[in-house]
Copies of this chain bind each other. A is one copy, B any other.
């Protein structure tokens, strides 16, 4: 059939080499391209330095790795005076030249430029919001569209991507399926937090029922809908069909928390495993976290070196210690005893310690940093401080919940074995005044081929904070959403 048509096929052309096969600066710096090759660099100028010897040194960056490559532009180039000497930070250029071994220190390879083409200038360089001088993170948040051009936020983007990629790799190597649980939900929050309403009603003049209340039956989904706070209940249904599953997606909290640790929109990872108990869950959490941090150490030494030098000098040693450690398993009840004993010996805590409390950050950090000196999995919490779906232990007063505590941050993972016994689940629903009808589909999972199963949630941004030492969660997500802020 291909010969039956009479149109002119579009000629395949390209800007320089075909995008997908062209080399990046990472390739050049890593020695993957032969010295002496003719190369084309496409990227942005990080800095320009002019030598009196008749050269300019351009540091060219394309995002493929932390380091830029140096291009040496001789004054003999036709546009040296008219263009090259006017290049400023983040001007876009295309440099054609020869890859050579560098004589200068600090880099192995550089490019002897034969042509420097200016692709895009920076308007008014003096007022450019991300010029080469140092800017505060507060300022850079106001230019979230430009901040990935800076050293810090470029490094954050690469580490974030590296961790994302490691999440998927870990789970696929272990036979897990990624399940896309819904974002819009008509389920309640099961106490996980305040929710955003999602609607297409005319808010200025919504339809009303006989009582004068808003009539959500006229809304898009035929009832009141919200943004999800967790994919767990949904993914449990897939776990009880396919054994090993996980979610990795955006999650929401409509809480008016203006802190360095809270976002209204963040990404969460929630694995769920069938035929598994709390101990299996703890083993999975330990193996998973170590895999993630080992991946960052292996794959992003360039960015991690930058964080260690400029953001948090301990970030590399912290990850190395984390990966090398064997996580301690500790009962909640024993943790309370240990905290009480510490208090008796003079340790000061702001919040009181007694069996039944939800541990505060100071308690968690004492346990993992001072008492154990390694990550700790705290297990079997009082039922009254935990959610309805967690499995009741035989003692009748604790549930099979766990938190993973890490030195330097405290809680990083929360999880549990789920209550798989319908009668026990129903008792809990009754006890908490939750509607069996509302959870009918979730109860079905216990009526039909139920099995012991367990899972946990890992906040992705907190993982990035732990890896990089960045202090504010708004600086590890591209476009942070917080009270009063959903710009860009």
A 228-268 binary contact with B (CB < 8 Å = 1; else 0):
00000010011011111000011010101000000011010
Q: Which residues of B contact A26 (CB under 8 A)?
A: 175
A 451-484 binary contact with B (CB < 8 Å = 1; else 0):
1100000000000000000000000011101011
The answer to whether A9 touches B330 (Cβ under 8 A) is yes
The answer to whether A328 touches B451 (Cβ under 8 A) is no
Q: Which residues of B contact A243 (CB under 8 A)?
A: 24, 42-43, 62-64
Instruction: State the number of copies, please.
Output: 2
The answer to whether B90 touches A449 (Cβ under 8 A) is yes
Separation in Å of the A282 CB from the closest CB of chain B? Answer: 8
The answer to whether B227 touches A198 (Cβ under 8 A) is yes
CA distance A196 to B449 in the complex (A): 38
A residues 18-44 near B (Cβ < 8 Å) are: 18-20, 24, 26, 42-44
The answer to whether B20 touches A284 (Cβ under 8 A) is yes
Total chain A interface residues with beta-carbon distance under 8 A: 148
A402 closest partner in B (C-beta): B10
Q: Which residues of B contact A450 (CB under 8 A)?
A: 92, 119-120
The answer to whether A198 touches B198 (Cβ under 8 A) is yes
The answer to whether A7 touches B199 (Cβ under 8 A) is no
Known contacts A19-B283, A220-B483, A283-B19; A198/B200 CB under 8 A? no
Q: Which residues of B contact A264 (CB under 8 A)?
A: 184, 220-221
The answer to whether A181 touches B478 (Cβ under 8 A) is yes
Q: Which residues of B contact A105 (CB under 8 A)?
A: none
The answer to whether A7 touches B331 (Cβ under 8 A) is yes
CA distance A105 to B119 in the complex (A): 66
The answer to whether B64 touches A175 (Cβ under 8 A) is yes
The answer to whether B371 touches A4 (Cβ under 8 A) is yes
Q: Which residues of B contact A486 (CB under 8 A)?
A: 182, 184-186, 221, 223, 225
CA distance A241 to B147 in the complex (A): 9
Question: Is A73 interfacial (CB-CB < 8 Å)?
Answer: no
The answer to whether B145 touches A9 (Cβ under 8 A) is no
Separation in Å of the A442 CB from the closest CB of chain B? Answer: 8
CA distance A106 to B374 in the complex (A): 51
Known contacts A10-B330, A486-B184; A234/B479 CB under 8 A? yes
Partner of A42, one of B24, B165, B274, B487: B274
Question: Is A386 interfacial (CB-CB < 8 Å)?
Answer: no
A162 closest partner in B (C-beta): B177
The answer to whether B203 touches A203 (Cβ under 8 A) is yes
The answer to whether B20 touches A174 (Cβ under 8 A) is yes
Separation in Å of the A370 CB from the closest CB of chain B? Answer: 7
Question: Is A194 interfacial (CB-CB < 8 Å)?
Answer: yes
CA distance A334 to B10 in the complex (A): 10
- Of the A-B pairs whose beta carbons lie under 8 Å apart in the complex, a sample of 13, sorted by A's number, is A9-B330, A10-B330, A14-B279, A19-B275, A20-B280, A64-B242, A143-B441, A149-B449, A158-B242, A161-B177, A194-B200, A203-B206, A204-B213
Which 4 interchain pairs have the tightest Cβ spacing?
A63-B242, A7-B334, A1-B373, A120-B450
List 6 extra interface pairs beyond A43-B243, A122-B449, A164-B178, CB under 8 A. A12-B279, A42-B275, A157-B241, A182-B265, A220-B484, A250-B250
